[in-house]
């Protein structure tokens, strides 16, 4: 039992990005004002979005279960209304870990169909790793396949699915009149992204999702990445260029017949040395791309 608990913790930490042994006691939840009525909360795991208004509070993602009391306290200090909707940008544990706690407080969870599918069943990964099904209360109650609008507090929030990007169930959350976009894990600012290829993610899907985000953004758009600091269109453009350059470099190696063990990781990630200092190292990112495109 202890070993099973340990492996669950390790798996959660893996999604936490960057730490192998999370100490949630030390995590502080920091609110950052994005614009009138919208906040980004930073703690451990994916960035949280918060939309305040008289008809109810809307929350986007919820980090890890142990952080729910701290997150709740910060939300209570900012919001006058209860959390009405909790939108999940995708199913990973560092974005949905608090689902149960917030559903118990009355939030209705909203997400893409595949988020419910993955949270409701045990997920098996290669090398015997797996993630247990979440309790039913933590599953999304309102789901959609392509897009959905949520009309609240005078805003029509747009939920937009992107096929096979970071996972198979990603959604952007766009606030058109506020010009704010939460991109979930389709955007890791200034870091190589994690692409969950075992769960339907693809690098090309991430590039397509980023291009769609660039289309709806202008120079004033505030962009909340899944991980990293609050961003703008220029930051997203830089990320897009990195993805294109890295894809081209790896495809060239494949064309030249380079074997995986002969890849020059430092050379291939030249110019992006700082990008591999997080959860996904240059080695992991290059090899993921190589493996993905070699099987294409």
Q: What is the largest CA-CA distance in the chain?
A: 60
Distance between first and last Cα of the chain: 40
Determine what percent of the chain falls in helix, strand and coil, rounding each to the nearest 5.
40, 20, 35
Give the range of 2-10, 89-97, 117-125, 253-261 binding Zn ion by CB under 5 A: 89-97
What's the min distance (Å) between Cβ of 81 and Zn ion? Answer: 28
Q: Which is nearer to Zn ion, 37 or 185 (CB)?
A: 185
Q: Are 96 and 135 in contact (CB under 8 A)?
A: no
From the list 68, 74, 87, 92, which residue makes contact with Zn ion (rule: CB under 5 A)?
A: 92
Q: How far apart are CA 164 and CA 205, in angstroms?
A: 5
Q: Which is nearer to Zn ion, 48 or 79 (CB)?
A: 48
Residue 168 interacting with Zn ion (CB under 5 A) = no
The footprint of Zn ion on this chain (CB under 5 A) covers a number of residues equal to 2
From the list 64, 185, 187, 243, which residue makes contact with Zn ion (rule: CB under 5 A)?
A: 185
Q: Which is nearer to Zn ion, 155 or 185 (CB)?
A: 185
What's the min distance (Å) between Cβ of 21 and Zn ion? Answer: 19
Q: Which is nearer to Zn ion, 56 or 225 (CB)?
A: 225
Q: How far apart are CA 211 and CA 237, in angstroms?
A: 9
Q: How far apart are CA 59 and CA 95, in angstroms?
A: 11
Site for Zn ion in 36-75 (CB under 5 A): none
Give the alpha-carbon dihedral of 259, 264, 267, 270, to 10 degrees: 90
What's the min distance (Å) between Cβ of 95 and Zn ion? Answer: 6
Site for Zn ion, rule CB under 5 A: 92, 185
């Amino acid at each position: 039992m202890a070993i099973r608990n340990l492996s669950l913790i390790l798996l959660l930490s893996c999604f936490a990005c960057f730490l192998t042994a999370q100490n949630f006691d030390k995590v502080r939840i920091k609110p950052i004002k994005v614009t009138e009525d919208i906040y980004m909360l930073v703690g451990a795991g994916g960035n949280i979005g918060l939309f305040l208004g008289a008809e109810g509070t809307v929350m986007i993602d919820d980090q890890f279960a142990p952080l729910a009391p701290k997150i709740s306290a910060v939300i209570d200090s900012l919001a006058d209304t209860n959390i009405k909707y909790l939108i999940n940008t995708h199913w990973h544990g560092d974005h949905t870990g608090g689902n149960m706690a917030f559903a118990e407080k009355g939030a209705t969870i909203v997400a893409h169909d595949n988020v419910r599918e993955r949270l409701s069943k045990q997920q098996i990964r290669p090398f015997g790793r797996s993630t247990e099904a979440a309790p039913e209360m933590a599953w999304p109650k309102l789901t959609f396949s392509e897009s959905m609008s949520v009309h609240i507090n005078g805003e029509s929030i747009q939920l937009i699915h992107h096929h096979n990007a970071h996972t198979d169930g990603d959604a952007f959350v766009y606030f058109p009149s506020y010009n704010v976009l939460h991109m979930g894990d389709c955007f890791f600012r200034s870091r190589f992204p994690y692409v969950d290829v075992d769960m339907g993610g693809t690098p090309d899907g991430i590039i397509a999702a980023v291009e769609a985000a660039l289309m709806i953004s202008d120079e004033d758009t505030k962009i909340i990445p899944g991980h990293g600091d609050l961003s703008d269109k220029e930051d997203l453009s830089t990320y897009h260029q990195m993805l294109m350059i890295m894809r081209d470099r790896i495809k060239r190696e494949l064309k030249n017949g380079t074997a995986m063990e002969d890849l020059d990781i430092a050379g291939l990630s030249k110019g992006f040395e700082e990008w591999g200092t997080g959860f996904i190292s240059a080695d992991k990112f290059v090899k993921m791309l190589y493996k993905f495109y070699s099987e294409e």
